[in-house]
Each structure stands twice: as structure tokens, then as C-alpha cells.
Amino acid sequence: MANEIPRSATTRTAKMASLPLSLAGRSVVGFGRQLVGQSGTMVFSEIQEKTAEQVFKVLGELKGGAMKFGQALSVFEAALPEEIAKPYRETLTKLQEAAPPLPARVVHSVLAKELGEDWRDHFSLFNDKPAASASIGQVHKAVWKDGRTVAVKIQYPGAGEALISDLNQIQRFAKIFQLFMPGLEMKPILEELRARIIEEVDYRFEAEAQQKYSEVFEGDPDIAIPKLVMASDKVIVSEWLDGTPLSKIIAKGTRAQRNSAGIKLARFHFTSPDRAGLLHADPHPGNFRLLDDGRLGVLDFGACNRLPNGFPEPMKRLLKSALDDDAEALYQGFKEDGFILPEVDVDPNLVLEFLVPLVSPLRTQTFRYSREWLREQSARVGDPRNPTAKIGFQLNLPPEYVLIHRVTLGTTGIFCQLEAEGNFRDEALSWFPDLKPLASV
């Protein structure tokens, strides 16, 4: 049955292996063109665009770890120059929520293995046509034996082996992705993503996180979490959650819908560590819905960071120091918490100058995210010719904060895709009470 996964491991490996080879060829051509007088910046820009085009094309054809990485990558498209991002935005949206479905007989075989040969007795109705599909599984709409409409998430046969193979390949090519995402350190994100995706293969782990979330957010006026019905190693059954996918809100939503989705997404991420001891670690639009009653629906809990003590205190202290414009306290905190290695000496004021614009959404009563703002920030911290950017290259990211860093970047990407506007400072203030009220900033 493993052979029924749409792409073989050999085919996936060959496709990903084509990336560095194509890049090398383009780099040689680019060097030659510089020799005949073309601008190095212009040539690099062209190589960057073509590399991005091929990466998106290859990832869009893959399942397993490669497609999962594509989903994570897609939330950063708002930071790409418009001439690169625009042609692929529709492709990336499809990547987040679409993949070729498994044949019905394979689906039935998985259900029989996981739930027993009498698996149909659990349902009064089961739709063989999947309602959604993604990287390692697909979802079928069904009616549980008690009459509840449910989502049945079924893992692809052989998904675990495919994930490990794909992710091992992707890690080898980390530097390639940085060519069209300058300034973003891909290696630790890939390492963290690899660990979480391998963990994600265990649906019981996911079910435990979903159960905790649904208990904590039950009756919440802003956040909706589908209740767990049952789970096995490869199958999860949970209550069905209707709503408009965030990808559609990004594409065609009203201003009110965009703002509502943005502020509620911020509320979910700010509050989850303290309320549930968890951080939802798969921030891409396919995992969120805007319900008719205005709540934000959250799906897919396979990748969750355990934070039993809530949001880490060092992160709160560093945020407070940046918002207070306290360069020395920020520098000392960075040193103590491993963001600046002992042998590195950096001007505290330059560290503050590097970080302050990134927390600008929390320095004003109302802030509107945009693709333009994200591109400006990406250029500011990613261009090695920029003096401020050089500070970023001297900073370290401790392993325990890699996941929080990824979630923060991914969520910011969604805010910018939504172009969400709202009082994000008060959202943070409600859960980080040590921050000063706006009037005293």
C-alpha cells in the first residue's frame, strides 16, 4: 500500500536533488554575465527569482516532508518581492489545502486496520470522497453513529518513511531557500520542523493536544476548537467545523473579516501557552477558519510545543526591554539567555535598533500589517550591506526558542497576508501585564 502514495521516494529525491544542480548552473551563467558588464545586483535578483520559481514548482508537486515544508514556507510569501510572489500565490494557497486523494479502497483498508473490520459500524454515513487533503493525511466528512457530523483524518500509508526521507533531503539544501528569503536562518527552522513532523506522524500525540485545547477553549467567545471523538495511531475523528478557510479570507475577505481574523489569531497565540500550556506550531492559513458566528476555528494539532509553565519568562522580559527602549537590559538579557554568545561583543544600542521596528505593532494603539511592511523589515534585517542587518548575523537563536521563533514569524506572515489592522498591543498587554500601558510608553 505504501506504493500508492502519489510520488515514490526515488521521484521525490530526484526532484529535490534538481534544485542545487539548477542553482549551480544559474550561478555560473550569472557570473559570466557579470563578466560582460551586467550589474551583479541585477543578475543576483534574476537568479533569486528563478530559484524561487523552481522551489515552489517542485514543492507543489510533492507530498510528505517536502510538501509540509512548502506549507510552512508559504506563510512567508508576503515577505517576497511582489514580482516573485504574485505568480505563485495561487499555487501556494493550493499547496496549503490540496493534494491528490487516496483511492477509496486504500482509505477503507486503513480504517479497517485502525478501527477494526467493523469500522463502518462507527458511522451512519461515510463519504469516500475526501473533503480536504494535505501533506501526510486526508480528511473525510462523515456522520458518527450518534448523529454528529465528524471529520475523519486518515494518515497516508507509508507517510512516516516518506517524511523522514524528504526531510533529510531538504536539510541538505537549506542554503538554497535563503537565496529568496534573505536574512531568515533556515537551518534551525528545518531542524525543528523535522523533529515536529516526525512527532506529527503519531496521531495519538495530536489527539492529546487537541483534547487539551478543546477543554480549555470550550465556550470561548472568540476561539473554536473541534472536540475529539476518538483516535488511533493513524486515524483521528473529531467534530466537524464549518467555516471559511483563512486562505479565502486572504484572497477575497472584507476588511472586517480580515481584521477580525487577525486579532483573534493573535489572541489565540498569545493566550494558548498560559491557558493550555501549548503553542500551536503549524501556522499556515489552511489550519484556520472564520466561522459564521465570528469565532476563529483552529485545526490540526499535530505540531504543538509543550509549554507547561506558560510563555517563557525570558521572552517576556526581552519584549518588555525592547518596548521600554532599554538597550542595556535588552543586551544583558540576550547575553544571559544565549541570544548573544559569550565570545561575541555587540553594541547594545545597535541591538535595540535592530529589534525595535520588529515590535512596532505593539508600540501603537492601532497597527496595520501589510506585505510592504514585511518586505521592508525583511530587507532591513536581511541585506548584508545594511549596517543594522550585520547585528542580526551576530545573534544566536537558542534551540529552545526555535519553535517560538518560527510560530512568531509564521503568524506575522499571516497577519501581513490578511493586512490585518487592530490593537495588537492590548492583546499582548492582557497576557503580559508587566508591559507598560501605552500612555506611559
* Every domain of the chain and the residues it spans: 2-98, 313-440
List CB contacts of 426: < 8 A, sequence separation 6 or more.
none
Q: What is the pLDDT of residue 344?
A: 82
List CB contacts of 259: < 8 A, sequence separation 6 or more.
418, 420, 421, 422
Backbone phi and psi for residue 278, each to the nearest 5 degrees, phi listed first: -135, 155
Q: What is the pLDDT of residue 296?
A: 98
- For residues 239 and 148, the answer to whether their CB atoms sit within 8 Å is yes
Q: What is the pLDDT of residue 428?
A: 85
Q: What is the pLDDT of residue 193?
A: 64
As a three-state string, the secondary structure of the chain is CHHHCCCCHHHHHHHHHHHHHHHHHHHHHHHHHHHCCCCHHHHHHHHHHHHHHHHHHHHHCCCHHHHHHHHHHHCCHHHCCHHHHHHHHHHHHHHHHCCCCCCHHHHHHHHHHHHCCCHHHHEEEECCCCCEECCCEEEEEEEECCCCEEEEEEECCCHHHHHHHHHHHHHHCHHHHHHCCCCCCHHHHHHHHHHHHHHHCCHHHHHHHHHHHHHHCCCCCCEECCCEEEECCCEEEEECCCCEEHHHHHHHCCHHHHHHHHHHHHHHHHHHHHHHCEEECCCCHHHEEECCCCCEEECCCCCEEECCCCCCHHHHHHHHHHHCCCHHHHHHHHHHCCCCCCCCCCCHHHHHHHHHHHHHHHCCCCEECCHHHHHHHHHHHHCCCCHHHHHHCCCCCCHHHHHHHHHHHHHHHHHHHHCCEECHHHHHHHHCCCCCCHHHC
Q: What is the pLDDT along the chain (441 residues), one digit of tens a residue?
A: 433 444 454 554 555 444 444 433 333 333 333 333 333 343 334 444 454 455 545 554 445 555 555 555 555 555 555 555 554 455 555 544 445 678 899 999 999 999 999 999 999 999 999 998 766 789 999 999 999 999 999 988 877 666 666 666 666 656 655 554 444 456 666 676 667 667 777 899 999 999 999 999 999 999 999 999 999 999 999 999 999 999 999 999 999 999 999 999 999 998 999 999 999 988 888 899 999 999 999 999 988 888 999 988 888 888 889 988 999 999 999 999 888 888 888 889 988 988 887 788 998 889 999 999 988 887 777 666 777 777 777 777 777 787 787 788 889 999 999 999 999 988 888 777 776 655 544
Phi-psi region of 29 (alpha: psi -120 to 50; beta: other; left: phi over 0): alpha
Cα of 44 vs its chain's centroid, Å: 27
Q: Is the dihedral of CA 156, 159, 162, 166 positive or negative?
A: positive
Virtual torsion, Cα 51, 57, 60, 64, nearest 10 deg: -60
Q: How far apart are CA 148 and CA 192, in angstroms?
A: 37
Q: How far apart are CA 65 and CA 193, in angstroms?
A: 9
Q: How far apart are CA 376 and CA 118, in angstroms?
A: 57
pTM of the model: 0.75
